[in-house]
């Protein structure tokens, strides 16, 4: 099963995350299928960028988002981002 989830990047105590489509059996920071965007909670305001076209594709073929990614997608759509924007 494919999951849309976060993978942690960055230095110790200075994290940022990539939003990826990955096999649910893969480790958190392991192999992924496709990078869909990024999320940096350390900036004020937070830095969030998603490729909504690819996110919609993965959701359409049955990928399940994690709770956090589901919240981030909802937040990004409310910001008024256009579906054609790239990550």
Q: 3 pLDDT exceeds 90?
A: yes
DSSP secondary structure letters along 28-75: TTS--SEEEEEEETTSSS-EEEE-HHHHHHHHHTT-EE-HHHHHHHHH
Q: How confident is the model at residue 86 (pLDDT cuts 50, 70, 90)?
A: low
* Superfamily name with CATH number, domain 2-78: Ribosomal protein S16 (3.30.1320.10)
Q: How confident is the model at residue 87 (pLDDT cuts 50, 70, 90)?
A: very low
pLDDT of residue 81: 53
Distance between CA 54 and CA 42 in Å, rounded?
25
Residue 3 · residue 22 · CB < 8 Å? yes
Domain range summary for the chain, segments of one domain joined by +: 2-78
Backbone Cα Rg of the chain? 12
pLDDT of residue 79: 87
Using DSSP, state whether 80 is helix, strand or coil.
coil
Please state the pTM of the whole predicted model. 0.84
Residues 29-50, mean pLDDT to the nearest whole number: 93
């Amino acid at each position: 099963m494919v999951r849309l989830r976060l993978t942690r990047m960055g230095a110790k105590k200075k994290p940022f995350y990539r939003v990826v489509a990955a096999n649910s059996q893969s480790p958190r920071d392991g192999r992924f299928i496709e990078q869909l965007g990024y999320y940096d909670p350390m900036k004020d305001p937070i830095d969030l960028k998603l490729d909504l076209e690819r996110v919609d594709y993965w959701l359409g073929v049955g990928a399940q988002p994690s709770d956090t990614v589901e919240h981030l997608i909802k937040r990004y759509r409310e910001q008024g981002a256009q579906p054609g924007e790239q990550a």
